[in-house]
Amino acid sequence: MRREPLLMIPGPTEVSTQALLAMAKPVVSHRDEDFSAFFKQLTEKAKQVFQTQNDLFILAASGTGGVEAAVANLTRKGDKVVVPVFGTFSDRVAEAVKRYGGEVIRIEIPLGEGPTASLIEKTLEKHPDTKVVYIVYNETSTGVTVRELPQIAKIAHKFDAVVVADAISILGGDELPVDPWEIDVCVTGAQKCLATPPGIALVSVSDRAWRLIEREGLSTFYFDLSRYKKFFDERGQTPFTPAIPLLFALDIALTEILEEGLENRIRRHRLCAQAIYSAVEAWGMTPFAKEPFRSNTVIAVKYPPNFDDAKFRGLLKRKYRIAVAGGIGITKGMVFRIGCMGNIGPQDVVLTIAAMEAVLYEIGYLKEVGKGLAAAVRKLASL
Amino acid sequence: MRREPLLMIPGPTEVSTQALLAMAKPVVSHRDEDFSAFFKQLTEKAKQVFQTQNDLFILAASGTGGVEAAVANLTRKGDKVVVPVFGTFSDRVAEAVKRYGGEVIRIEIPLGEGPTASLIEKTLEKHPDTKVVYIVYNETSTGVTVRELPQIAKIAHKFDAVVVADAISILGGDELPVDPWEIDVCVTGAQKCLATPPGIALVSVSDRAWRLIEREGLSTFYFDLSRYKKFFDERGQTPFTPAIPLLFALDIALTEILEEGLENRIRRHRLCAQAIYSAVEAWGMTPFAKEPFRSNTVIAVKYPPNFDDAKFRGLLKRKYRIAVAGGIGITKGMVFRIGCMGNIGPQDVVLTIAAMEAVLYEIGYLKEVGKGLAAAVRKLASL
């Protein structure tokens, strides 16, 4: 059996054959005017998916590199920065801000929940001199989505703070209209809901954010966004060599996204996620995230008592060729996580549910097979 | 005519069809044990090409990202850092060190030359408390190779300083045995002599370098090499999602390098470069780099007086589909540059020389055609 496992993990995700093949095109010069034309239309396409008219940069880096770019450009020594921490990735943001000299105002949030607008408002009332509010819009480690992100942005702006959304595991899979929601810096990675192979990060930057970025004291050179802006505006290029084959793949993936339509795409993600949540509950299991924070792109499920995760996920991968993730960082050993991202559709959902039921039966957790699939199928009926 | 231009630029370079097609493979999970096995053997292969037993990391970043990783990890506020500046890329290193708080001891070197061991020795005698000496082994902007790199490393070590070699545009194309030459940190990018598409950087780290890296006060999170080491040693993985398709391509490219043999490969680069230099001189033009600094991977040529670069390079690209580079940064408007990197062989050299002669004839610079080709062919006869 030579089949690569179906990626039902929270990234990297399944990439279309068209996007994969695009990478096999000959490499071109990134200082060529043909490249500039390609890169400008690629950036425009990405802006459509971000729903923004802000600047947008495509970096040769993984998603965390995109977060580093945001942090390094926005933070100066002693800046007050609010970071609600509710999982591994928000904790990483807090750590990165600290390393760049920011004074982190951590808001500790119970696991399985996310920050609310009122919580951010209270924090900003105590710290009205806050420069930046970082929101991990989708906490990949816990399967939590911050449902009040647009309200949080409005509150932050009332206090004249810049809002950064780490949208790595969600942009392209759930609502995130960057301009209407007033997100100043939005970061994503290619390898999640954009269904592009890993290795590039996308970062949008508003005028309000530029005011913080353009202060003295920038330490990064590689992620210097002002330099990216200069090169893009003057030549439609990047200051350093871009990851060209990944841009070819991204171009195809963005075209596929726009052809499907953002609204359809978000609806597909939501219904596929609901189908998975329904199956999980039919099996007598409990999602890790509490309502209303349940993510439509990462479904985290609490391990039942005495549950052998290695056996469960191992069998699922070896016998049925389906990869799902365990916990990460703070949720390690507490959950398994199903990615519902990018190109995942009804076929992948029924396959995953069917195979999971088979494995849950084989390891003795389920006494009968079919209930999860029935629950999932009822949800998928409306797609 | 739909042919992509032949890349005779200093990167990105021509990638073999096998390496391009490797990127079209389905994406896999970077947290899978199969991936760890792949990534460990890939790293071992890269170490063979580096000729090192030091740690070696593969980052999702372009070459400048690799330099940033070196600078960010090695520099702490107030550290004395020696940087000989002899072109755009060494100037960039100086700028990056400054941004990370280092006190840069700049050594200004005449354009077309590179630092010598005695110059570094004199500088270190004046600044014996220097922590790091950065050498851009091959200055891509001027076509200069630092021929005394191994002697420089020995001198730096006498003063207990760490030596970093920015080998982005040379590793895999000219001598650079990292361990015998005692290079503490060696940085390269995939898209030059390694003949891999752009988007990944490779960085080796010696024990001596680790002692500087492991001090307090690291500011980067994304490029935190200690974190890379921990993930590699414990699981054969990267801390953040790697650029998976580019690793597939690198794997093929490294295999092709080892099959050719490093010695043969270096000889091929040297003879192809000599062929190009000979043709250039037969045309009555002058290489920008002085002897003995002439690079075997980037041939920079002074513009003859009243020479229309745009017409020359434009015609070469449009009519003959061959891309060569102009100057960059400090050499902008002063030179054109031919990349002689990676997979470039006799076929590419005779084609480039023949087409250049045709264009030089067409624009009226040459009165007769053939002398350059004859000179090149005489050199290629010994390959």
Reported as a pLDDT band with limits 50, 70 and 90, residue B1 is low
pLDDT at B71: 98
Q: What is the pLDDT of residues B53-94, one digit of tens each?
A: 999 999 999 999 999 999 999 999 999 999 999 999 999 999
The correct CATH number of A17-259 out of 3.40.640.10, 3.40.50.360, 3.30.9.30, 3.40.50.300 is 3.40.640.10
Q: Which of B28, B65, B245 sits opposite A245 (nearest CB)?
A: B245
pLDDT at B333: 92
Q: Look at B199 and A243 and tell me if their CB atoms are within 8 Å.
A: yes
Min Cα distance B256 → chain A (Å) is: 17
Is the CB of B226 inside 8 Å of chain A's CB atoms?
Answer: no
| Residue B2 pLDDT greater than 70, yes or no | no
pLDDT of residue A2: 65
Cβ under 8 Å to A: B residues 239-278: 239-246, 249
Contacts (Cβ under 8 Å, ≥6 apart) of B56: B43, B46, B47, B50, B202, B203, B204, B205
- pLDDT computed for residue A1 by the predictor: 60
Distance CA B194, CA B188 (A): 9
Where b means 16+ CB within 10 Å and e means fewer, B188-208 reads: bbbbbbbbbbbbbbbbbbbeb
- The pairs formed by A353-358 with CB atoms below 8 angstroms and a separation of 24 or more are A353/A275, A353/A276, A353/A279, A355/A316, A355/A320, A355/A322, A356/A279, A356/A316, A356/A322, A357/A279, A357/A283, A358/A320
Q: Is B327 on the interface with A (CB under 8 A)?
A: no
Q: Do A172 and A265 contact (CB within 8 A), yes or no?
A: yes
Interchain contact, A221 vs B7, CB within 8 Å: no
Chain B closest CA to A93's CA: distance in Å?
9
A 307-326 residues with CB < 8 A to B: 317, 323, 325
Cβ atoms within 10 Å of A125's Cβ, excluding its own: 10
Whether A67 and chain B come into contact, CB under 8 Å, resolves to: yes
Q: Is the CB of residue A346 less than 8 Å away from at least one CB of chain B?
A: no
B207: part of which helix (H) or strand (E)?
A: helix B207-213
Residues in B touching A337 (Cβ below 8 Å): none
**Per-residue model confidence as pLDDT tens digits over B264-292:** 999 999 999 999 999 999 999 999 999 99
Q: Are A331 and A320 in contact (CB under 8 A)?
A: no
Say which DSSP state A32 is in.
Answer: S
Residues of chain A with C-beta less than 8 angstroms from the C-beta of B240: 62-65
Average pLDDT over residues B160-188: 98
Instruction: Check residue A82 and give its pLDDT.
Output: 98
Render pLDDT for B306-354 as a digit per residue (tens, 0 to 9).
999 999 999 999 999 999 999 999 999 999 999 999 999 999 999 999 9
Structural domain spans, chain A: 6-11+262-380, 17-259
Closest CA to A222 of A41, A14, A57: A57
Query: What value does the mean pLDDT of chain B take?
Result: 97
Among chain B residues, CA nearest to A100: B219
Q: A118 to chain B nearest CA, in Å?
A: 30
Q: What is the pLDDT along chain A (383 residues), one digit of tens a residue?
A: 668 999 999 999 999 999 999 999 999 999 999 999 999 999 999 999 999 999 999 999 999 999 999 999 999 999 999 999 999 999 999 999 999 999 999 999 999 999 999 999 999 999 999 999 999 999 999 999 999 999 999 999 999 999 999 999 999 999 999 999 999 999 999 999 999 999 999 999 999 999 999 999 999 999 999 999 999 999 999 999 999 999 999 999 999 999 999 999 999 999 999 999 999 999 999 999 999 999 999 999 999 999 999 999 999 999 999 999 999 999 999 999 999 999 999 999 999 999 999 999 999 999 999 999 999 999 999 88
Q: Which of A95, A191, A222 sits opposite B241 (nearest CB)?
A: A191
pLDDT at A102: 98
Give the other-Cβ count within 10 Å of A207's Cβ. 9
pLDDT at B29: 96
B243, B248, B251, B253: CA torsion to nearest 10: -100
pLDDT of residue A3: 82
A326 closest CA partner among B244, B239, B32, B232: B32
Distance separating alpha carbons of residues B153 and B135, to the nearest angstrom = 9
Q: Which residues of A172-204 are buried (b: 16+ CB within 10 A; e: fewer)?
A: bbbbbebeebbbbbbbbbbbbbbbbbbbbbbbb
Among B residues 73-112, those touching chain A with beta carbons less than 8 Å apart = 92, 95-96, 99-101
- B28 touches A: beta carbon within 8 Å: yes
Chain A nearest CA to B185, separation (Å) = 18
Q: Which residues of A329-344 are buried (b: 16+ CB within 10 A; e: fewer)?
A: ebbeebbbbbbbbbbb
Nearest to A198 among B96, B220, B241 (CB): B241
Q: Which residue in A88, A91, A241 has the most chain B C-beta atoms within 10 A of its own C-beta, making it the best mutation to test that interface?
A: A241
Cα A130 from Cα A157, distance rounded (Å): 11
CATH 3.40.50.720 fits A6-11+262-380, yes or no: no
Query: pLDDT tens digit string along B94-119?
Result: 999 999 999 999 999 999 999 999 99
